[in-house]
Structure 1
Amino acid sequence: MSVDERGPAVARTVPSLVAVRRPAPGPPRAVVVIAPLLLTVALGLWGIRRKNSMWGDEAVTYQLAYRDLSQIWLTAQHVDLVHALHYAVMHGLFGLFGGGLLTLRLPSVLAMAVAAGGVGLLGLRLAGPRAGLLAGLVFSLLPQVQRYAQEGRSYAMVCALVTWATYALVVAVPHRSRWRWAVYGSTMLLACLLHEFAVLALVAHGVTLVASRVPRPVLRAWSVTAAAVVAGLLPLAVRSAGQSGQVSWIDLPGPMRLLGFLAVAVVGVACARTPLRTRGPVRLPALALPILVLPGLLLLIASLARPLFVDRYVLYSSIGLALLLGAWMDHLHRLRRSSRMPWIAAVAVLAALVPSSLSLRTPGSRSTDVIAIGATVRGEGRPGDGLLYLSGRHRVWTAAYPEDTRLLTDLALAQDPASSNTLAGIELPAEDIAARMLEFDRIIAVRDPAGGHSPTNPQEEAKTSTLRRHFREDGTTHAAGARVTVYVRDHGPSPQAGPEAAGPGGSGGATR
């Protein structure tokens, strides 16, 4: 055959070779789950002790985990019923592994790692392996995920359960088998029992199914399952409604918090509007956007009547943000236009996260450090001094390490927290508190960092008025979210000045 005759034959074979060329395969399925899980564990273990610090909410977990189950249940009848299941879980872990900061926080690290693996698996099922891997890694790096992976509270566990409940929902839609819906419902119910506001994820799931236009039998199955979850949660919700004073500290969301929520929502909507790769009856934007926006939005709407919006209550919204960002990054990779730009942007984002990641692992990243407060009380006190909490609820700040106050006399305490099945104990009547204070020449007072204290009951009024009339301030030490003030007995004439001069909020003494 001549060269001329072979030429067309060779030319005809080239297109066929091009036609069978396939894009490079994505990462293996195992890597999609394992890589985010391991990254989350590594980030969670990094600085897990936070320089030997513990903030106030963790101190409550730490305190209750040492009580037996009957005491936890009796305490929950008065306060923190919404966290009772978490306290019971931590009690079991403390019994198995002993107390300490590692035992307190390691369950949250592991739970968040399980959540990261679940996010990767969700992304894989909805948009492919590369999108799943990116979503899982993004989830691990989010500052709010890093923060609550290192806290001895229930939020990481709730996030993990909602993640896997969401995956169970996605799997149940095409298969429609009853046992899959049972897995979805039981996982969601467990999440809700750990924290009631997990039920808002149930609302987001319903919107997802409607937006995905799933068949009516699927909607019917979800409705029955959702009704069962709500029914299972209802007794807890009714009982805990009587403890609404527990959230009285929540203020209306400020401008910065609202702007932050709006910014995240805008990012999510922008990602959802790009032509993301998605597959299956449940589309990724229809799943991710509702769970990102709806729970927080519902809390904001509820806050018009009573402030309830706290970002950690809807931490699981991070699932939606990670899925959308992971799918968007996969979209940029597939475009292959100016392929360096996505990587440059990724490096810039990682560099921007470094200061935040470092800060989250310091004692100053939380509003209080009860270990530092207790150490300050121990350092300022002398054996036989009186100890006074302004207000009594601050007693939880030193409850985690009782040895810090062992040599001091709690002047207002009638019954300690453990025996009274409370968080802060039961205090004496006002007149008895005043009488006991006058028996001491030196009192160590623990109060809010701003220093002021507005009496809310007769006991608090007795504390402040007795200090004002019979004691003078001898120095104040600022201690990680609290002020520890030494008062000495003034045996001269009662001061005529008001509380601004020498009272609990005054500045009549030296400040250290």
Structure 2
Amino acid sequence: MINSAPARAGRPLRTPPPRTAVPRPRPDGSSRTPGWAVAVPPALLMLVFGLWGVTREGTLWGDEAVTYDMARRTVPEIWRTLGSVDAVHGLHYLLMHGVFTAWEPGLVPLRLPSVLGMSATAAGVALIGRHLAGPRAGLLAGLVLTTLPVVHRYAQEGRSYALVCALVTWGSWLLLRRRWVAYAGVMLLACLLHEFAVLTVVAHGVTVWQQRKEHRARGWVVAAGCVCAGLAPLALFSVTQSSQVEWIEQPETRDFIALVLLAALGWACSRNPAGALVRSLALPLLVLPTALLLLVSKVHPLFVDRYVLPYVVGLALLLGAALDHYWTRALAWSAVAGALVVLVSHGPFLRTPDSRKNDVGAVASAVAEVARPGDGLLFTPARRRSYALVHAAPYAHLHDVSLDRSRRASGTLFGTEASPAQVRTRMLSEPRIVAVQDLRGQPLDSEQVERTKRDVLRESFALAEERVVDQVRIGVYVRRAAG
């Protein structure tokens, strides 16, 4: 019923003050642009970039060689190997075993899951941007992602990082949609592919906390608890294999400077209405996982930039929103020109063997050139035996002086080492040893057998020839005369 009573005298009607607009996510229904129209172009462009030069001139680097070897083993062999090493990558090895079962092993099937993973990441970033800041912001965010050199790099590596990036992206989408069961499942899968994806769950917690809505916080807390509970057995078991990360060095000053610059760029991009719409999700993803891993690494070195690769999702969302807000024809042409410069300057190089830390094929060729049939062969540290996992022929006529049991016989990744005393005796019985080593200045493994290798080479052998291939030293050592 309409109240027609007159207002009381002496009490004039009050006009309510104007409401201040508060940035909030734009619901999908507010845009006439369908989601597929925003997601498909970046996904297809990323697919093209991913397939461009995917074989990298027929080369593999050391970590990819490990994936290639593990994927060709049987499931019982993989399971047995994970009991001694690389449990953190077990799910990826099983996935790649399935790929190699369906498709003959090769470089394309090895890297295709990563190509598809980055394509899915580009699509997810575009949809998140559309949901939060509108269709143009979403499209620009997805396209920005496809131009980042680091994205091109890991889109063409036979490791888990691109797949983790895709799962974190779609987990972020499910977080925004408050689909907690699906969110928990996707984020748990991401963490099982690589444990440090749990840092992005922490970043999602910051996003939820900023929204200050109790029902959302409860849903996230339960989902995050399920993720941590599901990850706990693997995390606890992987601690027993912590010697695998002894090669990681303390973070350098440039790592902290890079984080500060990224954070400053992200904050600058968020200081506009469009950026404010994506800030609560994008900024924590951009900054928090990297910052946490750097801080932990001051106590126990664990920081490697690819371990926190999903930061590119936050970066692309913030850059896309900033481009959308300041969009002009001049800016559009400048953005296109900048993207072309990046692609031309970095794209071809990233598809060459020199773009990776090492090339197992080049190392094998160098060994074949300097070795003589019957020479002793020494891998130090032992994990450098990964260089012989794919290109085995150049090593076949050499005697591996530290090997006790082969990788297949021992159910390990690189085989088992003989005792320090046996290694010393074997080395001293060899007139010549070809040693495959890290570059000087790299962290030295602390195991007794590794110390024995270094001591015997220094005390009883003279370096006759040395070649450096990427980040690998191949030295020919000749035993000194007694006395």
Summarize deviations over 1:460-496 as a string: whole Å, max 9, x none.
4544454455544332222222121223455x444xx
Query: Could you tell me how far 1:198 is from its partner in structure 2?
Result: 1.0
- 1:233–1:406 distance in 2 versus 1, CA, 3 Å: same
Q: Match of 1:124?
A: 130
Asked if the contact 1:455/1:464 (under 8 Å) is kept, the reply is no
Q: Match of 1:202?
A: 201
In structure 2, distance between residues paired with 1:470 and 1:239: 40
Larger gyration radius, structure 1 or structure 2: 1
Q: In structure 1, the residue corresponding to 2:57 is in which secondary structure?
A: coil
**Does residue 30 in structure 1 map to residue 54 in structure 2?**
no
Q: Quick one: which of 429, 434, 437 aligns to 2:424?
A: 434
**Does residue 292 in structure 1 map to residue 290 in structure 2?**
no
Q: Quick one: which of 273, 276, 290 aligns to 1:275?
A: 273
**Does residue 60 in structure 1 map to residue 66 in structure 2?**
yes
Asked if the contact 1:32/1:129 (under 8 Å) is kept, the reply is yes
Residue identity opposite 2:344 in structure 1: V
Q: What TM-score results when the alignment is normalised by the length of structure 1?
A: 0.83
Query: Could you tell me how far 1:159 is from its partner in structure 2?
Result: 0.6
Q: Match of 2:191?
A: 192
In structure 1, distance between residues paired with 2:355 and 2:247: 19
Q: Match of 2:251?
A: 253
- 1:127–1:464 distance in 2 versus 1, CA, 3 Å: closer
In structure 2, distance between residues paired with 1:193 and 1:359: 32
**Does residue 323 in structure 1 map to residue 317 in structure 2?**
yes
Q: In structure 2, the residue corresponding to 1:240 is in which secondary structure?
A: helix
Moved more, 400-409 or 189-198: 400-409
Residue identity opposite 2:365 in structure 1: A
Asked if the contact 1:447/1:453 (under 8 Å) is kept, the reply is no
Q: In structure 2, the residue corresponding to 1:484 is in which secondary structure?
A: strand
In structure 2, distance between residues paired with 1:84 and 1:231: 18
**Does residue 477 in structure 1 map to residue 480 in structure 2?**
no
Q: Quick one: which of 162, 169, 174 aligns to 1:168?
A: 174
Q: Match of 1:39?
A: 45
In structure 1, distance between residues paired with 2:64 and 2:341: 30
In structure 2, distance between residues paired with 1:243 and 1:190: 21
Q: Match of 1:412?
A: 402
Query: Could you tell me how far 1:452 is from its partner in structure 2?
Result: 8.8
Q: Match of 2:6?
A: none
Residue identity opposite 1:308 in structure 2: L
| Percent identity of equivalent pairs | 47
Asked if the contact 1:51/1:363 (under 8 Å) is kept, the reply is yes
Q: In structure 2, the residue corresponding to 1:400 is in which secondary structure?
A: coil
Asked if the contact 1:27/1:130 (under 8 Å) is kept, the reply is no
Q: Quick one: which of 255, 262, 265 aligns to 1:264?
A: 262
Q: Match of 1:157?
A: 163
In structure 2, distance between residues paired with 1:326 and 1:465: 55
In structure 2, distance between residues paired with 1:312 and 1:489: 41
Q: Quick one: which of 383, 386, 390 aligns to 1:393?
A: 383
Q: Quick one: which of 225, 240, 243 aligns to 2:241?
A: 243
RMSD: 2.3
Q: In structure 1, the residue corresponding to 2:404 is in which secondary structure?
A: strand
Summarize deviations over 1:39-77 as a string: whole Å, max 9, x none.
111111112122222222112212211222222222222
Query: Could you tell me how far 1:348 is from its partner in structure 2?
Result: 2.9
Q: What TM-score results when the alignment is normalised by the length of structure 2?
A: 0.88
Asked if the contact 1:390/1:453 (under 8 Å) is kept, the reply is no
Q: In structure 1, the residue corresponding to 2:300 is in which secondary structure?
A: coil
- 1:29–1:430 distance in 2 versus 1, CA, 3 Å: closer
Query: Could you tell me how far 1:113 is from its partner in structure 2?
Result: 0.6
**Does residue 101 in structure 1 map to residue 135 in structure 2?**
no
Query: Could you tell me how far 1:305 is from its partner in structure 2?
Result: 2.1
**Does residue 213 in structure 1 map to residue 220 in structure 2?**
no
Residue identity opposite 1:285 in structure 2: R
**Does residue 222 in structure 1 map to residue 216 in structure 2?**
no
Residue identity opposite 2:364 in structure 1: G
Q: Match of 1:380?
A: 370
Q: In structure 2, the residue corresponding to 1:168 is in which secondary structure?
A: helix
In structure 2, distance between residues paired with 1:294 and 1:453: 27
> How many residues of Structure 1 are paired with residues of Structure 2 in the alignment?
453
Summarize deviations over 1:68-118 as a string: whole Å, max 9, x none.
222222222222111111111111111221222212111101111111111
- 1:465–1:358 distance in 2 versus 1, CA, 3 Å: same
- 1:310–1:452 distance in 2 versus 1, CA, 3 Å: closer
In structure 2, distance between residues paired with 1:53 and 1:262: 35
In structure 1, distance between residues paired with 2:442 and 2:263: 38
Asked if the contact 2:138/2:320 (under 8 Å) is kept, the reply is yes
Q: Match of 2:27?
A: none
Moved more, 73-82 or 431-440: 431-440
Runs of at least 5 residues in structure 2 that lack an aligned partner in the other structure: 1-30
- 1:219–1:433 distance in 2 versus 1, CA, 3 Å: closer
- 1:36–1:453 distance in 2 versus 1, CA, 3 Å: closer
Query: Could you tell me how far 1:432 is from its partner in structure 2?
Result: 2.7
